[in-house]
Structure 1
């Protein structure tokens, strides 16, 4: 379900669009976009994505930063992973999470810019 950057930058015919994103591309992929927004439509998951937008982090780091218990963090990470918004990297016993794509990173950056005071 990860959002493909080419979906946003191509015309429905699949031809590159020099003028930028076209609404018709979103219309053609509305179900996928809706699923992406549903996955992000949870305060805890959104905060996790914002933190992962800075750099990769372990569950322990996220637990400490969010002040919530490990099972709750793991549950939200599992949802984000199932929705292909985050990916993992194992180092010994630790599992590190990071954003799965530049498209997800750009969406998070846009949201951060929107809500900066």
Structure 2
């Protein structure tokens, strides 16, 4: 035992406490991970950027992004599953909208961080 280790009985108590204690925010962290995963694609980020400005008709958004209908559908399905994007039908038109305005602010904040990194000459290493 070194000078910073608690005595035997205390050491076991500390270990049990740190293992057993569930995080009060565990659901929040799970939801955050799910939302962040949905952000992990540049096309989806472009979709969110467009939807942060206004609602879009599916065909117009497809043209704006230069992607196929099937590709747009796949990306929107991921964003819908994360609870970020919603759809509504008006006649034959399908509209996409941002359900959580906070997402617009979050994306802007992340872009601000990235711009600061670029200005500071930092490179991304993965």
TM-score (norm 2): 0.64
The answer for the alignment partner of 1:105 in structure 2 is 104
**Larger C-alpha radius of gyration, 1 or 2?**
2
Secondary structure of 1:97's partner? strand
- Displacement over 3 Å in runs of 4+: 24-28, 111-117
Provide the rounded CA distance (Å) in 1 between the counterparts of 2:26 and 2:113. 23
Aligned-residue offset at 1:25? 8.2
**What are structure 2's unaligned runs of at least 5 residues?**
1-22, 120-126
Secondary structure of 1:37's partner? helix
Equivalent pairs, count: 94
The answer for the alignment partner of 1:6 in structure 2 is none
Q: Relative contact order (C-alpha < 8 Å, sep 6+): which is higher?
A: 1
**Is 1:64 matched up with 2:63?**
yes
The answer for the alignment partner of 2:37 in structure 1 is 38
TM-score (norm 1): 0.69
The answer for the alignment partner of 1:94 in structure 2 is 93
